[in-house]
Every structure is written in C-alpha cells, then in structure tokens.
Structure 1
Amino acid sequence: MQKNLFYSTISARFSLSSRREFNKTFYHKDLIVKKSPTSCLDQIPKDVGKLGFGQNFSDHMVDVVYTDDKGWGAPKIQPISDFRIHPAARALHYGVQLFEGMKAYHGVDGKIRLFRPEMNMLRMKRSAERACLPDFDVEEALKVIDSIVRLEHKFIPKSRNGALYVRPFMLSAEPTMKVAAGGEARWAVLTNPVGSYFKPNDKGVTLLADPGYVRSWKGGVGEFKMGCNYAPTIFVNKAAMKMGCDQVMWLSGENRLVTEAGAMNLFVFWKNEQGEDELITAPVSSGLLLPGVTRDSVIELAKEWNEFKVTERNFTMDELSRAIKEKRVHEFFVSGTAATVLPAQKIIHKDQEKGIDDVLHIDTTGSKFKLHERIFKTITGIQYGEIEREKWQRIVTI
C-alpha cells in the first residue's frame, strides 16, 4: 500500500511498460567478493561530529557492468578503486547518470538497519527508465546492498547522530558521441560513514526564495534523482550562501508555487484560512519535485496520528508569505535522507519582477506544538531500533 501511495502519480504518467524492455537483471547468487588486503578504518575520525558528509569512504565498492549483447554481468564487491571508462562515455558528455541515497544505522540493540530501502530502489528503477538505462530487480539489488553493508559494518558509527551512507548509482559508459539510448552501463555502490549534513544554528536553517532561479519545470526530470538536476543548483546555492542562507527554496511558474528546499522536500504546519491546523506539502503529482522517502514517512505518520489535517496540494509563495505575516505558521521544516527533519527559521524572499525584497521569520523551534521534533524523534527512533516498525526496517544480519 505504501509503495502505491509513493509512486501512484508517477506510475500513472510514466509506465514501465511504455519504454524499452530489459528482461535481464544481475543476481545476488552470482556475487563475487574480493576483499581489500588493507583497511582505512583507522583513518576515519572516531568523533562523529568530525565525520561531515561524503568526505570519508569505506574499503569496498560494488560494480556491475551491463552491455546490450550480454546483459548484466555478475555483481562484484571489490576494493574501492577508480573507474576505467572511455573518455567518450555518455555520462561524461551528456550527463546520463543517476543515483540514490540511503543510510544504514547501528541500532540501540546492536542490529544494523536500512530505512525503507525498497522505496529507494523503486525510485532508482524509474529514474533509470527515464534515462534509458537498463532495468534491474529491486530485491536482487537490495541483497547486494545488504552484502556490502555487512562487509563494511565496522564503518557504521555507533552514535545516534551517525550512519553509513549508501550511494547506489548508475551511468552510461557507452563510448560514443551519439545522443541515443543503449550500450554499456554501470551499476555501482559506494558507502561512507557520515555525521550530520547540516550544521545550522539553534533556530534552524535560512532559505532563499527567488523565482529568478529554477530547479525543475513541468515535463522535465525534477521528479527523478539524476545528477543533471543537481549540477545547475551549485551556482545558485553558492549565491544563497553569500546572502547568509543555508539553502534555496525553489519556486515555480508565474504563480510562484512552493516546491522544494535544496534537494529536500518541505512542510508547512499552519492554521489555514479556514481556521484548521494543517500540515501541507507540495504534491509529487506536479512532477516538479522528488518523491522523497522521508517525505512519504512524514505524511504517513501524520495521517496515523490523526490530530490535524494533512494535505498534499500546490500552494504559492504569496499564500505562505501572507500566513507568516498573519502569524498563522506554526512550523516550517524540510525533510530528506541526509537531514531527516530540519527546522527553518527564516526565508529571504526576493522577486525582482514583483518588486519584493523581504525577510520572513518563522519561530519553528519555539513552537508549542513541537511537531518537527516529534517527527524527527519518531523517524530516527525507527531508524535506530528504539521504535519497532517492521515494514520500515530492513535488518542486515552480521
């Protein structure tokens, strides 16, 4: 049922059966493991606060090769090493590449857990289809991921604030200048121990809202986790940071629809114009935002609690700005794999076309409802095994 909620809109508009069929997959039973004779474990900071995000890597990686004539080869776990690909590979010239991100957690009971990883793999399949990269079986991919997490389990921080970040990715390695589908591809996985992605002040992050910058558009690939969605945002985020912001809040179209913050989904908990307490977030049906796993989890938990209205609909920056100025916004927070749930405290709103140059303050951390804290504690409690929710927890046996 959860998978249907997560993907119903995307599947309706983009059926797997509507594209080129790939009948092959790689299989865990064929997995080849070549262990590294040395380890970099001793070089990894023991203090999780010094780990950062994506700066340290474990000893091994997964590598699987696909060709049109042979299909998928055997998956391999091998010492982490450079890829050898032709300089004309499509990934290098046309950005035919995609990725996923999930985490493995060291639980309070000593068990290793992945949080809803099947949703990441389903999303990866859909991204691969949109990029004309080969299909694969979700469960076989998860078994391979289990194996590398099991092998690298000593890299998982035994801290409430740490985890092993798992990065599956795919790229087109076909050596050709032709813009077309098919040919050689790679499916790979990297892992690295991580701490917190953001280090905001105690009040939360500050966001830049400026419709002059666009991340996605209707009919584009904003709903897929492709590298081409991220490269153009680096310049914008750098500009935002110069203005004292932590991330960019993306607005879309003439109506200035509120969509995402950075690479994260966002939520507003407010008293709506009908006087109801409501948790609202932009819908994935728009095709403008990534259907996040954490986002789906927040929505499902809030609906289960049944204490306030939960709504997925388009809403505008004008609506949000008016609600903030009328002091109807209880909390404003973002969600994602890296941050889980993170409060926002300020929006720097600029709109040259409308002559707007405003600063909007939201006292999320001072809210009497403490909804973002409750959601954060619930989700991380599930991730670290403090709360039992079997359908969201994939145990990796060591």
Structure 2
Amino acid sequence: MNKLGLFISRRSYGTAATFRAADTIIKKTQHGNRKPDSDKLVFGANYSDHMLTIKHTTASGWEKPVIEPLKPLEIHPGAKVLHYATEIFEGLKAYRGNDGKIRLFRPELNMNRMLTSAERSVLPTFDGQELLECIKKLVHLDADWVPKSTSSTLYIRPTLIGTEPTLGVAAPNESLLFVVTGPVGPYFPTGFKPISLLADNFHCRAFPGGVGAYKAGSNYGPTIYVNKLANAQGCQQVLWLYGEKKLVTEVGTMNVFMYLKNKKGGNELITPPLNGLILPGVTRQSVLDLARTWTDLTVSEREITMDELMEAHQENRV
C-alpha cells in the first residue's frame, strides 16, 4: 500500500505515545569541530557538532528529545539491533538557497516512509510532524554546517534501532531514535555525471511479500557483495532485475525512470510500480508529480522488462 500521497500523523492514546518537539532538551557543545572545505566534500565522511536522541521503552513510552554534542552511542552487546537487524533509517537533505535561507525538500514524505518502515519492523511509532520539528531544531542549531554551495548539502540521517539487551527474535521493548547530520558532496565520486549500471537477474534484492519497500538496513547490507561484482566490471551500481521476466525494479541507491518512444509513437516516461519490490522514493514521487503536469507525455507506473527496454534501445526509441 502506498501511504506517501497523504501525510499521516499517527497519534495514539497510551503512555508517552509520542514525543513532543516542544519538550526538547538542548545541550550545546562547548568546542565545535572544524568545518571541512565545502568544495572538497565526499559523501558521509563528516558530521556536524550535535545529534538528536530520543529513547523509548514499551513500559514508559517516549522520553523527551535531547539535542546534545555528537558522541558515540552506548549500546549493550546483546542489543537486538546487533543480532536481528531491527533497524530502519531515512535520508534527507537541507539546502542553502541563494537567499541564504535553509530549506528541506518534502520532508513529510520521509517522515511518512519512516513510520511505515517502523510499523513493518515492529519498532515504536510516533508523530511524524513532531520528529520533523525536532530535526528543524537540530538543523537550526548547526546551521553553520549547511554548505554555502550549489554542489554540497547538509545530509540528515534519522535512524531507529532496537536496543533491548536480550537475545531471541522478538519485538524490542527498548529502542532509540537518533538523528545525525553532516555536510556532503555528491554520492558518487564522479559527481553528477552519468553512471554505469550492471543489470543483474541472478541475485535478488527484494521479492513479493518481503521488505523491499521499506528503508531497513537489512535491505542494503546484502547488496554490497553484488555491488562489488558490478565495480569489478567497471560499473558503479546494480540495476536489479526480478524473476524470469527480468522485470526492471530499481538501482541499488535510487529509483529508475525510462524515457522512450512507445510503439504507438508517443513519448512515455516509465517507472516501475510500487508493488513491494522497490522503495517509494521521494525523488521518484516528485518526478511523477511534475511529469504529470506535461500534456505531451504519457507517465506510466508499470512493469517493464529488460527485453522491452533492450528492444526499444535497438529500435532507437530510448
């Protein structure tokens, strides 16, 4: 079920069913870190001065949000996240405009997706708007870390993990929601240039009834091996194909669109449907929203096979 079309604010009536941004405790660092050169940023290597943490227990619900200096997490070696991958995450960015203002891009979609991922992973849910307001407080506190650059941004990584220190496959009774941020350059070392893809139909990223539509860490770790195989063949990423039909699904770190002339001669923009095999991306939804305003283009969320794509390519229709 696609829940991204409408912002879903989940509120229930229990003990601390959600945290409140208004209750956030802020502890400012006394020694800020040196900021890297915004023109030499790589992805995921630098972190801002502060982090957000919010603890949860089944018995007491959510505690007050805390923004504090960035530090390592203290976690028991028996924590469920370390043994059973009870972890979900999100990824969004803060941009500094030409007017100097800092903006987020459709963050409510990220909050919705995180909530659906939490439900599927049996991790505690919360009010998405409250988390968004907490994130805004964190970004505001570390506003100097948002690059003044057109090629760099502040990456925001919300994460929710099960921390209960007991072995046994079960929903955790203790969890931790945390958010770290950091200035980043483009994800790929080649910048914004096109990348090469290895079309793989031997390995499987997701399958019907699985968790391919959720942003869980367990979806990504197993793909590293296949991506290494792609790198060995000169490709930066994997184009995941599914089943005997070789259905095009998604790339390892992004959704995929195909623009072609269909057999009727019309212009068609195709992206695979939200059938449980792909992640409902924010960029994907935004491209669809924009493209559907164009009158000279057919926008399709449908299955497309590698054979159909290759046929269109051979006929110079791509």
Structure with higher helix content:
1
Report the counterpart of residue 243 of structure 2 in structure 1.
253
Report the counterpart of residue 217 of structure 1 in structure 2.
207
Task: For 1:46, give the aligned amino acid.
Answer: D
Residue 304 of structure 1: CA displacement?
Answer: 1.1
1:281-296 to 2 correspondences below 5 Å: 281-284=271-274, 286-296=275-285
| Runs of 5+ unmatched residues, structure 2 | none
Question: Which of 136, 153, 166 does residue 163 from structure 1 map onto?
Answer: 153
Report the counterpart of residue 286 of structure 2 in structure 1.
297
Task: For 1:73, give the aligned amino acid.
Answer: E
Residue 263 of structure 1: CA displacement?
Answer: 1.9
Report the counterpart of residue 197 of structure 1 in structure 2.
187
| Runs of 5+ unmatched residues, structure 1 | 330-398
1:1-398 to 2 correspondences below 5 Å: 6-7=4-5, 24-40=17-33, 42=34, 44-48=35-39, 50-200=40-190, 204-284=194-274, 286-329=275-318
Rate the CA distance shift 1:326–1:5 in 2: closer, same or farther, 3 A: farther
Task: For 1:34, give the aligned amino acid.
Answer: K
Rate the CA distance shift 1:202–1:181 in 2: closer, same or farther, 3 A: closer
Tell me if the contact between 2:262 and 2:268 (Cα under 8 Å) persists in the aligned partners.
yes
User: Would you identify which runs of 4 or more consecutive aligned residues in structure 1 move more than 6 Å?
Assistant: none
Rate the CA distance shift 1:239–1:185 in 2: closer, same or farther, 3 A: same
Task: For 1:25, give the aligned amino acid.
Answer: T
Task: For 1:317, give the aligned amino acid.
Answer: M
3-state SS of 1:29 partner = helix
Residue 5 of structure 1: CA displacement?
Answer: 7.3
Q: Give the TM-score of the pair, scaled to structure 2.
A: 0.95
Residue 198 of structure 1: CA displacement?
Answer: 1.6
Superposed CA offset, 1:187-241 (max 9, x none): 0100000111123388621100020121111100000000000000111111101
Q: Distance in 2 between matches of 1:22 and 1:94?
A: 27
3-state SS of 2:248 partner = strand
Superposed CA offset, 1:352-384 (max 9, x none): xxxxxxxxxxxxxxxxxxxxxxxxxxxxxxxxx
Residue 22 of structure 1: CA displacement?
Answer: 8.4
Q: Give the TM-score of the pair, scaled to structure 1.
A: 0.76
Superposed CA offset, 1:61-88 (max 9, x none): 0000000111000000011111111111
3-state SS of 1:265 partner = coil
3-state SS of 1:150 partner = helix
Tell me if the contact between 1:22 and 1:134 (Cα under 8 Å) persists in the aligned partners.
no
3-state SS of 2:29 partner = coil
Q: How many residues align?
A: 314
